[in-house]
Amino acid sequence: MLAAKKDRGEAPGGGDTPAGPRHVAIIMDGNGRWAERKGVSRLEGHRAGVEAARRAVRAARDCGVTIVTLYSFSTENWSRPDWEVRHLLGLLRRFFREDLMELAGEGVRVRILGDHESLPPDLKKLVEEAEDSTAGNTAFTLQIAFNYGGRDEIVRAAASLARKAAAGGDAKVTEEALAAELDTAGVPDPDLVIRTSGEQRISNFLLWQAAYSEFIFLDLLWPDFGKRELEEAIAEFHRRERRYGGRKAKAASAP
């Protein structure tokens, strides 16, 4: 079920909101409940979730979206059982080994949001290599939030500004200065945030960037998400009126 319609409008800085959404962010929730309903292990649920992520990225590109951000592992997920954490880390390693080359060949830029420093050394190296090897690609941007938390991201950004000020840099704190220190620096904020599983909260995801995003909450579990669900969410986005603290303006005209 789509969430109730909300009103938004003119983009910050003036001007009409561009036809979109250009950037879609997704909270991929429900792998465990999907597995329980199917009578299979949680590991099978996570594997089915990875397949849904692949479908979502392909569908987004077909729908004209140019940036997708997927929330795959939060800073709070380390509290899960060790066996489950090991499996989730293994899925990310598998992504780098099996999907990255294909994505790179298709002009996809890969960015991994979150705290890289506390990742296992081999995974940290894979993350850095993935970002470096695809940095010049411009056809599509795939951001994967892994070991990510919105509050942690803002704290790290503020700490970076403080270090620069202590080293003699500009001590003035502005929205632009802080945004430039975020993991998403240089990438437009999400137009649309989708969450599956029926939960209606953002769970520490893109707290800064989603200030004026449209939100859609879906009752289905993440492994069941596909192109039809994305198309329906985008259609709902086009029907909404967006506000950025100003006058009402149509979010986008349906194609």
Residue positions annotated with a catalytic role: 29, 77
Q: Which residues of 128-144 are buried (b: 16+ CB within 10 A; e: fewer)?
A: eebeeebeebeebbbbb
Q: Is 46 annotated as a binding residue?
A: yes
Q: Is 201 annotated as a binding residue?
A: yes
- Would you say 185 and 111 are in contact if contact means Cβ atoms under 8 Å apart? no
Q: Is 243 annotated as a binding residue?
A: no
Q: Is 29 annotated as a binding residue?
A: yes
Nearest-angstrom CA–CA distance, 201 and 134: 32
Q: Is 214 annotated as a binding residue?
A: yes
Q: Is 33 annotated as a binding residue?
A: yes
Q: Is 160 annotated as a binding residue?
A: no
- Would you say 251 and 17 are in contact if contact means Cβ atoms under 8 Å apart? yes
Q: Is 195 annotated as a binding residue?
A: yes
Q: Is 32 annotated as a binding residue?
A: yes
Q: Is 42 annotated as a binding residue?
A: yes
Long-range contact pairs involving 55-63 (C-beta distance under 8 Å, separation at least 24): 55/225, 55/226, 55/227, 56/26, 56/225, 56/226, 56/230, 57/142, 58/227, 59/226, 59/227, 59/230, 59/231, 60/24, 60/230, 61/140, 62/227, 63/227, 63/230, 63/231, 63/234
Q: Is 31 annotated as a binding residue?
A: yes
- Would you say 8 and 190 are in contact if contact means Cβ atoms under 8 Å apart? no
Q: Take residue 163 and report the two structure tokens written for it.
A: 């270090």
Binding-site residue positions:
29-34, 42, 46, 74-76, 78, 80, 195, 201-203, 214
Binding-site residue positions for substrate:
30-34, 42, 46, 74-76, 78, 80, 195, 201-203
Binding-site residue positions for Mg(2+):
29, 214
